[in-house]
Structure 1
């Protein structure tokens, strides 16, 4: 499992190639319709603009993020003000203009429950395979028994057969089904390798992105 210092150093040094500087179009296309006021959990949220889009849909957004740099950049870059409070040594940042609460905490230490949905674009793929069962178990404990999960996965391989030693990590369909047996198959898949020559230039033999929409029965 990657240590927290790995991510904190990434934000400190500005090595955040994983950050998408716009709303993910897959979120806009496939996010399920939720009741107004539903609670949505976004693990390892970084400073994603997806948080803004979700809040604009009338839901309560709770993002969990280790780095205070990411959190403060989120508010600064989106011209949002916030109120900061502390509870049991954990910092909470509540946006004033939108219903977005960012919590500066290790996700494995986050204990709030009863979330109606979870959006995972870059969380499970950032977790090592060894730590994924623990992550998934912890996530399930945070969700209502009938919650919705939107999960985005990456399936890729290198031409020389090597394994990735840093995120994002490969995540096969069979592994998703192991964690979430209720899932059937991805609702969308796109071949990024064919769409963009940079994937070949980086040594990949294929690279696909998939969207899973899972209605839980826990």
Structure 2
């Protein structure tokens, strides 16, 4: 199956190269949680995901769903409540603990033997497991393969120089017949250094096109007054569905 051409007019910014050397350390991400600089967290959950959820799940039950850089995303409980198994990875232990506390879920924690210093937090019901470690170390934990990936705030947060390595991990985690729902942002990258970083349609095809067909399901105007402090006056969220070719 060839890449599905979307009829939507996805604006491309040829100057995206300006962000290619931007780097945030894991420590800086952890500090964002400590300093409460977590405007990326959506307390009501992601509205585009909610809108397309039935299409994403396709009525299937008992799916394994992966949340890269999960933070304390409330959507993890949405999937668990529907009978699916959720696995997430997040560098901030604070974010993981807040998820369980805010969702009123009891949990256990244990070290991950294969990754020194890392832990896994598991809901007492057993259907949510959140790994506290560097995403790039996660393959050493042998977490298995997934039917669905919900990538919101992850690809756009990864340092641009690490995207190929990131995409390779995501592709390695996919089961046959997977659905990968991906949210990215379009804005003028010459005006804001990121994160979230600008990710183009062409970049998605470069990273995933050898294995995946990609289709833009929706474009949404996400601009808020607070974004003016980024130096931009437009912010579009593009929601893509990646499926097996």
- C-alpha distance in 2, partners of 1:69/1:198? 25
Deviation at 1:142, TM superposition (A): 1.5
Offset at residue 188 of structure 1 (A): 0.4
Q: How many residues align?
A: 212
Unaligned runs of 5+ in 1: none
**Aligned equivalents of 1:216 and 1:107: distance in 2?**
23
Three-state SS of the structure 2 residue aligned to 1:130 is helix
Structure 2: distance between partners of 1:192 and 1:12:
26
User: CA separation in 2, counterparts of 1:206 and 1:25?
Assistant: 19
Corresponding residue SS for 1:186: strand
> What does 1:1-218 align with in structure 2 at a 5 Å threshold?
1-31=23-53, 32-33=56-57, 35-88=60-113, 89=116, 90-97=118-125, 99-111=127-139, 112-157=143-188, 161-164=190-193, 166-181=194-209, 182-193=212-223, 196-200=224-228, 202-217=230-245
Cα distance between partner residues in 1 of 2:39 and 2:85: 27
Shift of 1:202: 4.3
2:6 match: none
CA contact (8 A) 1:113 1:144 kept: no
Contact persistence 1:145–1:216 (CA under 8 A): yes
Relative distance call for 1:201 and 1:6 in structure 2 (3 A) is closer
TM-score w.r.t. length of structure 1: 0.89
Q: 4+ residue stretches of structure 1 with deviation over 4 A?
A: none
The alpha-carbon deviation at position 154 of structure 1 amounts to: 0.4
Which of 1 and 2 has higher RCO (CA within 8 Å, sep 6+)?
Answer: 2
* Structure 2 residues not aligned, in runs of 5+: 1-22
Task: Give secondary structure in 2 for the equivalent of 1:157.
Answer: coil
